[in-house]
Structure 1
Amino acid sequence: MNNDLLKNWLEKQASLVLDGAMATELEKRGVDTDNDLWSAMALVHSPESIVDVHRSYFEAGANIAITDSYQANVPAFLKAGLTAEQSGKMIFDSVKLAQKARDAYAETLEDSVRQATPLLIAGSIGPYGAYLADGSEYTGDYDLSADEYKSFHRARMQLLEEAGIDLFAFETQPKFEETKALADLLSSEFAGIPAWLSFSVSDKAELCDGTPLTEAVDYFNQYANIVAVGVNCTSMDNIEGLVKVINSVTDKPIVVYPNNGDTYDPKSKTWQTNPHAKSFSELVPKWQAAGASMIGGCCRTTPDDIREVAAAIKK
């Protein structure tokens, strides 16, 4: 999958549907995610559950599966007791499991539908803060040099590339300097692979490190292989306004995948249910009207939510 082909799909489809939460669905299947590796621990102990979750999202209407590698990185697996070889295999397998689900689902489609339906695998690259497992992706409270960021992300990106991803998903990124390092690494060492870049933001149209969203988005206009920019893991109520802000400074497709409306406390690592949350079917048309063209769900979202997104987009 190259940049032009992904762009052609976006132009052809008007919108693409992303999948939803992995950890939430794994927990429903009895998988323990209460650890520093979070959902990535399932790569070690319950890989078939990951296949099942990916398949459920494709069946709900998702065009893009995001690999279970957000918090999967070699240092974290080493800390958990795996060898370097085993750690690399887990990251590589995160792609193969998504591909297995995609291919099984594709076999259920008629040839004409399969040929007309993009079914892509996005390799998830979480921020360095996700490795810290302390909620830093929501604060940006860490500092590395550009070379240190590249060194941290390089091995995972190489493994995802080798396994055959269609694009990278640089997601929940709270720090402008880290995203600049990622984009530079992508251009210099992974030039044939497109990526979307999705920021972790505060309630004030700023990255969590305080960088104005307009400044960050505008910076990446110079990178042709950053094929979409946007936000994820934020409140559904924030999306429409953020899309308008992003749309004011870029012509790139805009990607959004918010949480389901519940609120998260990164210190206690607990969620509080929001009984007044609006529905995706109500909000997706507003996001599209504001300029979003890649839409899915993040934490706490389910296949039912993605089914709502897909139905709203079809309308």
Structure 2
Amino acid sequence: MTEANLRLLDGGMGRELQRIGAPFRQPEWSALALIEAPEFVLQAHRAFIAAGARIVTTNSYAVVPFHIGEERFAAQGRSLAERSGHLARQAASESVEPVTVAGSLPPALGSYRPDLFDHQRSVEIHRELIAGLQGQVDVWLAETQSSIAEVRAVVEALGADPKPLWLSFTLLDETGAPPRLRSGESVADAVRVAIELGAKTVLFNCSQPEVMAAALAEAQRVDQHLGQTLELGVYANAFPPVSTQAKANSTLLEIRADLDPESYLRWSRSWVAAGASIVGGCCGIGPEHIAQLHKHLLPQEEEAGA
């Protein structure tokens, strides 16, 4: 993959909202600003676009009962998803450069917790989100998916929707071993299923930078073996390793001090060299990181705009 073909995704919305002073707490996470102060969500989208992101993700990740409660989700889930889509679309439409809006479809029943999965309930939750986001997004991004079962539920909820499907898996924070989803399933199996389900793009997100290159290599191996042409991407987080026993979003995890923009750029270069054509950031990766990638990985775009 050459840097000329690279597209930059935005960074972690939740921590950026917290940083700029938006209402922010557990369990609502990034949904709280969407509910109480949506102008902060628009501000965050604009900041990532100004930094160089050309793909922005709707702030619908926490619009699930796990975060906002069953009662509020039943009453407002669809309208909040719609609001998140409108805000992302507004920010994208303001840009002089084309910006893709990715509709975030999160793990419906808790991040990093494949053990909490329930197929029918996941399908129901995703159908509400999809109904709200419909008409505002260019692609569907099922992100932070911990298991193959989770992505199957997303695809069932989408039905025959024609928009491109992007599937993004979160990995066990283990180095020196074959890359695995947080369910323990292999990346190879996940990529095979992604192709079977019609995904156009496979990404890896919300895991440490250290485990991403191995996942990319495995994805490329499967893609080539099956004669496919998947687009691959990475957006890592800035968390320390997360225990498999951790309760989903039970606390605000610390942010690593060693993942400053320059360090994240070095990791990103390795992912581009390994075949990633989409690079961005997840939790703890802000506009300053994306700006560094834009400056050093996209020199042609920078010169054109100078």
Q: Which amino acid aligns with 1:212?
A: S
2:85 pairs with 1:95: yes
Deviation of 1:78 (Å): 5.4
Of 115, 136, 139, the residue aligned with 1:167 is 139
RMSD, aligned CA: 2.4
The SS at the match of 2:278 is strand
2:37 pairs with 1:43: no
Q: Which runs of 5+ in 1 are unaligned?
A: 1-9, 131-136
Q: Aligned in 2, Cα 1:80/1:184: closer, same or farther, shift over 3 Å?
A: closer
* Equivalent pair of 1:18/1:297 in contact (CA under 8 Å): yes
2:261 pairs with 1:283: no
2:289 pairs with 1:305: yes
Q: Which amino acid aligns with 1:120?
A: T
The SS at the match of 2:253 is strand
Q: Deviations over 1:116-144 (max 9, x none)?
A: xx3011111111233xxxxxx22412132
Deviation of 1:37 (Å): 2.1
- Distance between the aligned counterparts of 1:36 and 1:275, measured in 2? 25
- Distance between the aligned counterparts of 2:2 and 2:212, measured in 1? 22
Q: Which amino acid aligns with 1:122?
A: A
* Equivalent pair of 2:146/2:169 in contact (CA under 8 Å): yes
In structure 1, the partner of 2:7 is: 16
- Distance between the aligned counterparts of 1:37 and 1:289, measured in 2? 37
In structure 2, the partner of 1:259 is: 237
* Equivalent pair of 1:262/1:300 in contact (CA under 8 Å): no
2:44 pairs with 1:61: no
Q: Deviations over 1:15-67 (max 9, x none)?
A: 11000011111112222322222101111111000000000000000011101
The SS at the match of 2:12 is coil
- Distance between the aligned counterparts of 1:56 and 1:63, measured in 2? 12
Deviation of 1:11 (Å): 10
In structure 1, the partner of 2:112 is: 138
Of 266, 271, 277, the residue aligned with 1:293 is 277
In structure 2, the partner of 1:201 is: 171
Q: Which amino acid aligns with 1:71?
A: A
* Equivalent pair of 1:254/1:291 in contact (CA under 8 Å): yes
Equivalences, count: 284
* Equivalent pair of 1:20/1:303 in contact (CA under 8 Å): yes
Of 135, 155, 164, the residue aligned with 1:183 is 155
Q: Aligned in 2, Cα 1:26/1:255: closer, same or farther, shift over 3 Å?
A: same
- Distance between the aligned counterparts of 2:153 and 2:166, measured in 1? 14
- Distance between the aligned counterparts of 2:56 and 2:290, measured in 1? 12
The SS at the match of 1:196 is strand
Q: How does 1:114-125 map to 2 (within 5 A)?
A: 114=97, 118-125=98-105
Q: Which amino acid aligns with 1:210?
A: G
- Distance between the aligned counterparts of 2:72 and 2:277, measured in 1? 41
User: TM-score, normalised to structure 1's length?
Assistant: 0.82
Q: Deviations over 1:46-98 (max 9, x none)?
A: 100000000000000001110110111368545465772x4322110101111
In structure 1, the partner of 2:303 is: none
The SS at the match of 1:272 is coil
User: TM-score, normalised to structure 2's length?
Assistant: 0.84
The SS at the match of 2:89 is helix
The worse-fitting range, judged by mean Cα deviation, of 27-36 and 291-300 is 27-36
Q: Deviations over 1:195-214 (max 9, x none)?
A: 21001111251111111110
Q: Which runs of 5+ in 2 are unaligned?
A: 224-228, 300-306
Q: Which amino acid aligns with 2:78?
A: G
* Equivalent pair of 1:60/1:306 in contact (CA under 8 Å): yes
Q: How does 1:170-249 map to 2 (within 5 A)?
A: 170-186=142-158, 188-190=159-161, 192-202=162-172, 203=174, 204=177, 205-224=179-198, 226-249=199-222
* Equivalent pair of 1:263/1:271 in contact (CA under 8 Å): no
Deviation of 1:230 (Å): 1.8
Q: Aligned in 2, Cα 1:312/1:218: closer, same or farther, shift over 3 Å?
A: farther
